[in-house]
Homo-oligomer: A and B are copies of this chain.
Amino acid sequence: MKLEDVIKIPVKFSEIDSMGRAWHGSYIKYMEDGREAFGRHFPGIGYADMVKAGILAPIVDVHVKYYGPLELNDVAVIRTTYVPKLGARLDFRYEIRRERDDALCCRASTIQLFIDQKQQLMLDEPQYYIDWKQRNGVVID
């Protein structure tokens, strides 16, 4: 079973660059929008949960590939998919399409690791993540 969520975000005027397309850095925000919508859909691993547990999950790897432009008045359709991986890490995959013609604009991925209150990298998964995986039937081969 795939854990994924789709949201639609209209492109903003302030995101359009002088080439007339969404600036490539704007996609980092679209991915964050996607991740936050995913977190509302499958609750328990949002930023608020992390703060409560005192264990944050900063992003350590971002990879974005651009296939076509988003322009003003375009709506970005962002599909965020959880990617089960062995160990204390949280992986997502993203696909962004233009709503008007369903053209692929972007494929991307992020990796998050866990750090405890002493800012130390955690080698074992925090309890809230173990619980979340169980609740959502995540099986890692």
Q: Is the pair A17, B19 in contact by a Cβ cutoff of 8 Å?
A: no
Interface segment, one of A52-60, A90-98, A124-132: A52-60
Partner of A18, one of B18, B32, B60: B18
**How distant is the Cα of A59 from the Cα of B66 in the complex, in angstroms?**
7
Interface segment, one of A7-15, A81-89, A133-141: A7-15
**How distant is the Cα of A61 from the Cα of B109 in the complex, in angstroms?**
12
- Best-surrounded residue of A16, A18, A48, A73 (most CB of chain B within 10 A): A18
What residues of chain B lie closer than 8 Å to A103, measured between beta carbons? none
- Chain B residue at smallest Cβ distance from A56: B19
- Chain B residue at smallest Cβ distance from A48: B73
